[in-house]
Structure 1
Amino acid sequence: MTTAPVRLPEHLIHPFAPAGRPDPYPAYRWLRANDPVHHDTASGFWLVTGHADCATVLRDPRLSAARGQRERAREDALPPSMLTTDPPDHHRLRAPGALLLGPAAVRSVADGIAADTDALLDRLAAAPGRPDAVADIGRPLATAVFARLFGLPDGELTRFETLARAASANLDPMAPPARAALGRTAATALGRYLDAHTVRLTAQGADVPLAALAADTRLTRPEMLGILNLAVVGGWQPLAEFVGNALHSLLPDRAAVRRLAAADDDLARLAVDELLRLEAPIPFTARVATAPVPLTGGTLPAGARVLAVIAAANRDPDVFEDPDTLRLDRHPNPHLAFGGGPHFCLAAQLVRQAGALLLPRLVRRFPALRGPDGPAAWDLTLVPRRLRAYPVDLCPAGEAR
C-alpha cells in the first residue's frame, strides 16, 4: 500500500519557493510538528527538521556527505576537500586543514583581526551616509580576516573579495543551472588565484597560516587548493553574511544591544552563538543515505537525498526554550549552525572570534545604532541565507537622530 505524500497546508508557503524564502520558519515549524522526516516532492529531497534527527543525520556514517555534495545542480566535481569526502579521507584532509583554520592559526592572527576591526569602525565613523551591514561591515570584516590568514596584500583585497563572492554559489546544493555555472567558473578562477598567491608566499618565506598549510607534505597540490577553496566558500562567505543576519536579529531588541555593549568576552561569545542559532547563514546541509536510517520522526530509505534543515532544528522547542526569542546568554546552546559530527565546521572558532570582536565594539562605538524600518530584504538564494541589503543608521553618540 502506497502512502500519499504529506503536503504543506495551503496557508503555508513552501520554504524553498521564492515567496517562502524570506520567512521559511512557519513552514519549518509545521513540518517539524507534523512530518519531521518529510519527502518533499517539489525538490526530491527528504527534509529532516527536528534537532535530534538533524544531529543524527550529521553524525551517522550511513549518511554520506561526499554523495550529498554530488547531488548538486552542476556538471563538474567539487575540489577535493573535507566537504566532498567521507572518513577516512575526510580525517586525512581535516588534520592539515587545521593549520589554516584551527585554534592555533586563529590565535596567531587574533591581534591583527582586533586591529582590523577597530580600523573598520573608524572608517564607518568617517564615511557619510548610512552604511550597509552586508556590503560595508560584513564583507570588509571577512576580507580582513582572510587577508590575515592568507597573507594577502592590501592591493589584492578587492580582487579576492570579488572572487570569494562569486564562488559562494557553490554553497547552494539546489542552485539553478545558470547560477551553478557562474559558481563553477568563479571557483576555477579562485583556485588559480590562490595557487599563484601560494607560490608567492612560499617564495617570500611568509609566516602566515596559509604558508603552513602549503608546506604540509601530507597533501597533494589539488588537495591543498581544495581546502583553500572550501575555506573561502565555507568560511569567508558565512562570516560576511553573519554580520547582517546578526544585526537584523539584534538591533530591534534595544535591551540586548545595551547588554552586548557592556558584555565581557564570555557573554560576547554566547551572543554570537545565539545570533547564529536564530539566523544561520548555512540553513541546511546535504547527505545521501547509503542504507536505511531510522530516525525519531521516520525512516530515511537507502538512496534518499537528505537535507538536514539546520534552520528548523535550531528553533526546535524540545531543545530551546522560547526558540524564536533572542537570549544573548543562552546556555547551553547546542545549535547546529556549524553542523556536527566529523564535518563540524573547521572555521567555527574563527567565525565566533571575529563576531565576538566586532559586535560589542560596534554597539559600543555606535550605541544608538538602528536598522532599517520595514521588513528585511532577504536575498532569494537558499544558501547562504543572507540579506540582500541592510542599511544601518550609526547615530553616533551625541548626534540627534
Structure 2
Amino acid sequence: MTLPRPLPGDLAHPFSPRGLADPYPAYRWLRANDPVHFDVTSRMWLLTRHADCVLALRDPRFSAALGQRERVRQDDLPPSMLTTDPPEHQRLRSPGALLMGPAAVRGLAGGIADEVDALLAGLAGRAEIDATADIGEPFATGVLACLFGLPPADLPAFADLARRTSVNLDPLAGPQAASAGRTAMGELTAFLDARADRAAAIAGAASGDVPASPFGRLAADGRLSRAEMLGIASLAVVGGWKPLAEMVGNALHRLLPRPEAVEIVRGDGEAAVLAVDELLRLESPIPFTVRVTTQAVTLDGGTIPAGSRVLALISAANRDPDVFDRPDDLVVTRSPNPHLAFGAGTHLCLGAPLVRHAGAALLRGLLTGYPGLHAVGSPPVWSRSLVPRRLERFTLAP
C-alpha cells in the first residue's frame, strides 16, 4: 500500500466540525488528487469518484452486511435488506416492495395529497416557520402514517419513536447515543408489532370500510418471519422519517434563493420530481455508505486490501464533474440525473419512489400555497452530525 496523502493544510477534514459545515472543498481535492484515499483518522478508505462509488455499491466484493458490522455500536441491527448481501437481500426485498414499491406509492397518492393540504392549512397565519420542526417532521410523520395506516391518535407516539430511533442512522454514534437508539428501536418494534395483526387482517379482507395499508400487505404476505417483517418495517421508519424530514429544509435552502427554479417547480409536476432528484444530488441527507471488501480490489488510484472498511462518499460522487455538467449548481430540470443519493445496485433505496412523489407534492404545494416563502433571521447552520446531513436551524416566513 502506498503512503496516504494528507489533505493540504488549508482544507478541513470532511468529518471535522469545519468540514461538516462544508465538506465539498475536501471532496474536490480528494477526487482530483487522491480518489482512493486511506484516511488515517478513521482508518477507512474514502472513495470520491462517481465510478468508484458505483462499483462499491454494485460489486459483490464490497459487502454491505460486513459494512453494517463496522458500526461503532456493538448490537446487531434487525434483519433487513440493509444488513444482508445477495441472495438473502433479494429474499427480503421482494416482499419489502409491498411496503414502499411503486404500486404502494401509487396507492398512497391521495393520502399524501391530503397530508400536504393539512400541513399548508396549519401554517396559515404563522409569522415564522421552522423548516424542519414545522414542515419537515410533521410531513414525514404524516407520510409514514399513511404507509402504516396509523390513526391520528397514534401519531404523537409514532413521531416520538421515529425521532428517537433516528440515531441508528449514524454508524459512528457513540455508546450513549447507541444505547438510547437501541432502547428506542425496541420500543418501535413493539409499537409496530402491536398493530401488525389488525393491519394484516384489513389487508386480507375481501372488502372493508378501512382501506388496506402497505404495512398491512407486508404483514399479511407470509414469505417472511415475524422478526424479518418487523425488521423491514422498522427500517422504513429509521431510514425514511429523518431523511425525509431533513430533506425539506435542505431543499428549500437551495431552492428559495433561485426564483427561476422556484417558478419551474411550482408550475410543473414532472419538473418537481426532477427537482427532488437534483436537490438530493446537491445535499444528500445520507452522505456516505459503508462497505467492507471481501477480497483485494484494484481501482484506478490504488488497491484496497481485503477486509478493508470503505466509505463510498455519495456526496462527493454526486458532484463529480466527469458525470455532471455544472456539478455544484442547481439545475432543477437535470435529466438524466445518475446521482447516488438513493444508492445503486441491489441496495438501491426501496423508498426512492415514495421520497420522489412525496417530496415533489410538498414542494409544489408549499411554493404554490405560499408564493412569497423566504428565509429570515440568521443564516442557517449545518449540524455537526455526520448522518443525516441537515440544517441545525432554518427559519422561513410566508
Task: Please say which of residues 340-349 and 325-334 is displaced more in the overlay.
Answer: 325-334
- Name structure 2 gaps, 5 residues minimum: 204-209
Q: Separation in 2 of the partners of 1:120 and 1:297?
A: 49
- Taking the aligned partners of 2:4 and 2:200, their CA distance within structure 1 comes to 57
Shift of 1:259: 2.3
Aligned residues of 2:266 and 2:272 also touching (Cα < 8 A): no
Give the Å deviation of 1:252. Answer: 1.3
CA RMSD of superposed structures (Å): 1.3
- Provide the rounded CA distance (Å) in 2 between the counterparts of 1:93 and 1:298: 34
Partner residue in 1 for 2:36: 37
TM-score by length of 1: 0.95
SS in 1 for 2:71: coil
- The answer to whether residue 363 in structure 2 is matched with residue 365 in structure 1 is no
**Aligned pair partner of 2:233 in 228, 232, 235:** 228
SS of residue paired to 1:46: strand
Distance in structure 2 (CA, Å) of the matches to 1:141 and 1:284: 25
The alignment partner of 2:140 has SS state of helix
Task: Provide the residue aligned with 2:300 in structure 1.
Answer: 296
Q: Which moved more, 1:169-178 or 1:270-279?
A: 169-178
Deviation string for 1:151-200 (max 9, x for gaps)?
Answer: 11101111111111111111111112222222111111111111112134
1:151 aligned to which of 149, 157, 166 = 149
* Structure 1 runs of 4+ with >6 Å offset: none
Query: What is the rounded CA distance, in whole Å, between the counterparts of 2:119 and 2:200 in structure 1?
Result: 29
Match of 1:170 in 2: 168
Query: Quick one: distance in 1 between partners of 2:87 and 2:72?
Result: 26
Identity among equivalent positions (%) equals 61
Which stretch has the larger CA shift, 164-173 or 219-228?
164-173
Q: Distance in 2 between matches of 1:165 and 1:6?
A: 39
User: Among 310, 316, 321, which residue is 2:314 paired with?
Assistant: 310
| Alpha carbons 2:296, 2:304 under 8 Å: kept | yes
Residue 139 of structure 1 aligns to a residue in which SS? Answer: helix
> Is the partner of 1:392 in helix, strand or coil?
strand
CA distance in 2, matches of 1:282, 1:199: 32
> Equivalent residue for 1:101?
100
> Contact between 1:83 and 1:343, CA under 8 Å: does it hold in 2?
yes
State the TM-score, normalizing by the size of structure 2: 0.96
1:296: how far off?
Answer: 2.7
Aligned to 2:206: none
CA distance in 2, matches of 1:26, 1:176: 27
Contact 2:12/2:26, CA 8 A, preserved across alignment = yes
Shift of 1:217: 1.1
Measure the CA separation in 2 of the matches of 1:301 and 1:225. 36
2:352 to 343, 348, 351: 348
Query: How far is 1:201 from its partner?
Result: 2.7
Q: Which runs of 5+ in 1 are unaligned?
A: 395-401
Q: CA deviation at 1:133?
A: 0.8
What is the Cα deviation at residue 204 of structure 1?
5.5
> How many residue pairs are counted as aligned between the two chains?
391
Give distance in 1, aligned partners of 2:196 and 2:152. 16
Counterpart residue type for residue 358 of structure 2: A
Per the alignment, in what secondary structure is the counterpart of residue 38 of structure 1? strand
In the alignment, residue 77 of structure 2 is paired with which amino acid? L
Paired with 1:17 and 1:37, the residues of 2 have a C-alpha distance of 20
Q: Distance in 1 between matches of 2:142 and 2:180?
A: 25
The aligned residue for residue 398 of structure 1 is: none
Q: Does 1:268 align with 2:268?
A: no
Partner of 1:25: 24
Aligned to 2:334: 330
Partner AA of 2:181 in structure 1: G
CA contact (8 A) 1:132 1:389 kept: yes
What residue in structure 2 maps to residue 240 of structure 1? 245
SS at match of 1:19: helix
